[in-house]
Chains A and B, each alone.
Chain A
Amino acid sequence: MAKRLKPVDVVLVGFGWTASIIAQELTEEGVQVLALERGMDRATVPDFATTHIQDELKYAVRGGLFQAPVRETLSFRNTRDQTALPMRNLGSFRPGAGVGGAGVHWNGQTWRFLPDDFVLRSHVEERYGAGFIPEDLTIQDWGVTYEELEPCFDRFEYLCGVSGKAGNLEGARQTEGNPFEGARSRDYPLPPLERSIGSLMFDKAARELGYHPFAAPAANTSRPYKNPLGVQMGQCTYCGFCEWFGCGNYSKASPQSTILPVLLKKDNFSYRTGCDVTRVLLDNTGKKARGVLYRDLQGQEYEQPAQLVILCAFAHHNVHLLLLSGIGTPYDPASGTGVTGRNYAYQITSSVEVFVDELINPYMGAGALGQAIDDFNTDNFDHGPEGFIGGGYIALWTTGGRPILQHHLPKDTPKWGAGWKKAMAENYLKSVSISTHGSVVSHRQAYLDLDPTYKDIYGDPLLRMTFDFHDNDYRMSDFLTGKAEGVAKAMKPRSINVKGRKKPYSIVPYQTTHNTGGAVMGDDPRTSVVNRYLQSWDVPNVFVVGACNFPQNAGYNPTGTVGALAYWAADAIRGMYLKNPGPLVQA
């Protein structure tokens, strides 16, 4: 029997980036906000101290900061005619668990999606004609524009202390920055990080080919920084342990290093850890949420009443909760109707390893220290002759040289034995990798629903993922990989190793934790779960925030856009919803 708790005004499911931002904003209105986090409590001290966090085995290989599949996983299949099987351990993607969420273990690569990304279908139809879009692609406009989100991007970048250089200030092209970016109202809060030798080599090669390289935007502080909330961050030391690790130096932006020191002092904010939210509870009309149901680590069940429920968990978890709670019509791929679980997407990555004569010292790095080109992203080039939609950036990242997972070996190196050992000795210090980070279109056969067989620890059905890359994505990725290969060759290397993305999608090798869709935003309740303010069309006192809102995925890391969407939704709730609770958009 669930224990009924004292009501709160707002309950947040999850306590990562989006929950931290929304809690910080809504508590300014005086409302009582509670965050429920499934994982453990985590703080910079003691959890990320450099005396123990720089442990590749514990955190990167064994996944110390990640979601544990024993408690929460999903089932997976490539196509509908297969039987989905549970993801028993983590591979292709690694969601976080614990306070700060994946915002603790990310790299800090902080991009804004391009203006065209937010109106993708309209833009492609206008430039190439409606016939250019294959029939089974369900790409659509977001219902919000880049111009509307610009102030929100700006706030997230200043919250994080992003290091970078503007390429487009209020429409005026700048030297050095990304010439393809949308207009920004002001420059980044901090100058770019120091360049690594790899960055310089990539920059030179890309320039020779006529491309437009720039320092990638980094939520790793190039200088000491005090953010607008008054939280002090320290200068990044290039220790090379960002991704999969917490930052002990207050240099990588995370909820802990940017918001929590302020938020946790507020009397009208509280949070609980070890709380698995299993349902959003609806009243008997099904149109209003009463609160949420959750279990603690002992299995005790609680009902937490709230006026407003905001789902701020990882993309999969938000969609799982919506499906379990009966919010929104579940998507049916046979008829193409329904919305919850629709338009699941991912990203398609590839790399070219480059073996050089120069001493690289790859272990000196930072999660978002990189040089990139955006010449082949979104619609920055003519897609007419190529016949596909989308694109991605190409970058040389110097994120670190952790020996188990970050070494590169030339093609034809023996897999093990004396030859492997020799190649390790000869190449670890003299190799870099160029990566491509490609968009993925949404399509009719890629979706999330509930598994008919496999259950989680509470007896609820697992989320089921049915996904493969679309032919469009493979062609796009091959195109990007070819361009990356061109840059690699221009670096005049000893040798290169091209690692293209092979069919079909596999859940085994790590690719990226940029899972998107399933609760997409939009203007039309027939093709979106939430309206442009991320408010459920069906249950107006439920908001859903995160990468699950993306109607399709762009060719950038998503956190910058996720942060912007969190501010966007928070503004709508502060400015409109709290004053007059109800639907912010009439269906």
Chain B
Amino acid sequence: MTTANKSPGAAAGNLLSRACAAASPSAWPSGAPDFFSRRRFVQAALALPAVLALPACGNETQRPTLSRTFFSADEYRFIQAATARLIPGDDKDPGALEAGVPVFIDHQLSGPYGRADRWYMEGPWAAGSDQQGYQLEETPAQLYRKAIAGVDAYCRERHDGKPYAELSSEDQDQVLHDLDENKIELEDFPAQAFFSVLWQNTQEGFLSDPMYGGNRDFAGWKLIGFPGPRYNYVDEITRYGDPYTMPPVGLLGRDGTRMRS
């Protein structure tokens, strides 16, 4: 996850101090338990890794190392490998990995989304029909934790003890197809349930504002031609067929590396 910053600037310094503040025990995990979600908050807190990799505070010349907030090292290798297959890329044509999608997913899962803070999570539990929607007991964070363990175990069994991250690209693709088609059996839920969340979160990370950790340097937006959240197109709306040439901008400005902590 360490990326050297080749163009040091004030923004990197700002981010560094933000990242350090965010990693301090008093400021993290974010969000106080409220009246309605204490039970799940406690569950989520217990599931978090005990030790955080702290960013290299004080080094002004490097892009900061963002600490993992949810995944273990092994889990993170899975996420890096899987998202790199879902949206492949390289230095010249960034995909999910180059755009920071694993960082995005990691941070989402340690926050309100990962904890399913807004969801109704009371029993009794039943599978229901497809039309009745998500009926799993697992929060998104729990879904990832269980599924990654299951998929890695599946891969080790069939590929000489190798976890997903160490398979060939072809084999990695095949595992993803098999997850999507429910051809792999996971213990607590259908594999497709995990695949659909993983693919959804991967797209979110590639295409959401860079302040969430993905879409780094506006990689996703540049690919498709979205200039970012801009305020005013009164002059441009009727220039039919003309390309719009302004460079992408994010909610935190032009620097597509900035991340809100």
Contacts and interface: CB of A to CB of B under 8 A. Distances in A.
Interface of A: 50-52, 54-57, 61-63, 68-71, 73, 76-78, 82-89, 91, 194-197, 200, 235, 237-241, 249, 297-299, 358-359, 361, 363-365, 401, 403-404, 407, 415-418, 420-421, 424-425, 428-429, 453-455, 457, 504-508
A76 B243 CA distance: 46
A416 B36 contact: no
A89 B134 contact: yes
Contacts of B113: 62
Contact of B234 (A237, A425, A507): A237
Given A55-B251, A237-B234, A238-B234, 8 more contacts: A68-B117, A70-B118, A70-B120, A194-B238, A407-B224, A418-B88, A425-B224, A506-B133
B212 interface: yes
Contacts of A56: 207-209
B121 A88 contact: yes
A136 B37 CA distance: 43
Given A85-B126, A88-B134, A361-B236, A239 B229 contact: yes
Q: Which of A85, A416, A421 has the most CB of B within 10 A?
A: A416
Nearest to A53: B229
Contacts of B237: 194, 196, 238, 364-365
6 contacts: A55-B251, A85-B132, A237-B233, A240-B233, A453-B124, A508-B131
Contacts of A88: 119-121, 133-135
B25 interface: no
Contact of A86 (B120, B203, B229, B232): B120
A67 to B, nearest CB: 9
Main secondary structure of the interface of A (DSSP, over half): loop
A82 B86 CA distance: 37
B88 A417 contact: yes
A239 B238 contact: no
Contact of A420 (B87, B116, B130): B87
A447 to B, nearest CB: 17
Main secondary structure of the interface of B (DSSP, over half): loop
Given A69-B120, A70-B37, A361-B244, A429 B224 contact: yes
Given A237-B231, A429-B224, A508 B119 contact: no
A241 B233 CA distance: 12
B223 A425 contact: yes
Interface in B82-116: 85-89, 95, 112-113, 116
A235 B235 CA distance: 13
A21 B248 CA distance: 40
Contact of A238 (B202, B233, B243): B233
Contacts of A69: 118-120
Contacts of A420: 87
A57 B208 contact: yes
B207 A404 contact: yes
Contacts of B124: 453
A200 B238 CA distance: 10
B116 to A, nearest CB: 8
B31 interface: no
Contact of A429 (B95, B121, B129, B225): B225
B83 to A, nearest CB: 10
B224 A506 contact: no
A240 B231 CA distance: 9
B132 A77 contact: yes
Contacts of B234: 235, 237-238
A57 to B, nearest CB: 4
B229 A55 contact: yes
Interface string B35-79: 111000000000000000000000000000000000000000000
A83 B236 CA distance: 53
B221 interface: yes
A579 B126 CA distance: 54
Nearest to B242: A359
Contacts of B120: 69-70, 73, 86-89
A69 B119 CA distance: 5
Contacts of B243: 359, 361
B232 A363 contact: no
A90 to B, nearest CB: 8
B35 A298 contact: yes
A239 B249 CA distance: 13
A268 to B, nearest CB: 32
B238 A195 contact: yes
- Which 10 pairs of residues, A with B, have the shortest CB-CB distance? A54-B229, A428-B224, A57-B208, A403-B207, A364-B233, A506-B131, A68-B118, A69-B120, A237-B232, A238-B233
Contacts of A54: 229, 231, 251
Contact of A70 (B121, B212, B226, B242): B121
A417 B173 contact: yes
A239 B231 contact: yes
Nearest to B220: A403
A507 B119 contact: no
A404 B119 contact: no
A91 B173 CA distance: 29
A361 B227 CA distance: 10
A122 B224 CA distance: 52
Nearest to A366: B237
Given A235-B234, A238-B234, A428-B224, A404 B203 contact: yes
Contacts of B230: 239, 363
B162 to A, nearest CB: 21
Nearest to B215: A403
B180 interface: yes
A82 B113 CA distance: 30
Contacts of B209: 55-57
A233 to B, nearest CB: 15
Contact of A89 (B133, B223, B238): B133
A298 to B, nearest CB: 7
A431 to B, nearest CB: 11
